[in-house]
Amino acid sequence: MSRSFNPLHQSGLVLTLLVLALAPAASAGAGTEALIPYEGPGFQDCLLTRIETQLVRCDNLTGAGVSAPFWIPEQ
């Protein structure tokens, strides 16, 4: 006896396995922002400025060490 090949059944099986494989990975990182309380300073709306070639916002160096462009106002 031979089975007939049904592409619909095979694609359904592949889709089901794909959903099951990706479901735990998608839910693992979902909503973690709400679980971790933020205890830093409150939000401050500071202008981006520079000191020589360093970008500064609210007295904090920013910009990951990239040189500040000339059009950013200097402190």
Q: DSSP letters along 9-48, please? A: HHHHHHHHHHHHHHHHHHHHSTTHHHHS---SPPP--PPE
Q: In which residue are the tokens 């200097």 written?
A: 74
pLDDT for 48 equals: 87
45 within domain boundaries: yes
Range of the domain at 26: 7-62
**Sign of the Cα pseudo-torsion (42, 48, 49, 54, in order):** positive
1 within domain boundaries: no
DSSP-derived letter for residue 74 is: B
pLDDT for 17 equals: 80
2 within domain boundaries: no
pLDDT for 34 equals: 57
28 within domain boundaries: yes
Q: pLDDT, tens digit, for every residue of 10-68?
A: 787 888 887 777 776 555 555 555 556 555 666 667 888 999 889 888 888 888 888 88
23 within domain boundaries: yes
pLDDT for 58 equals: 83
Element (H, E) at 69: none
pLDDT for 8 equals: 66
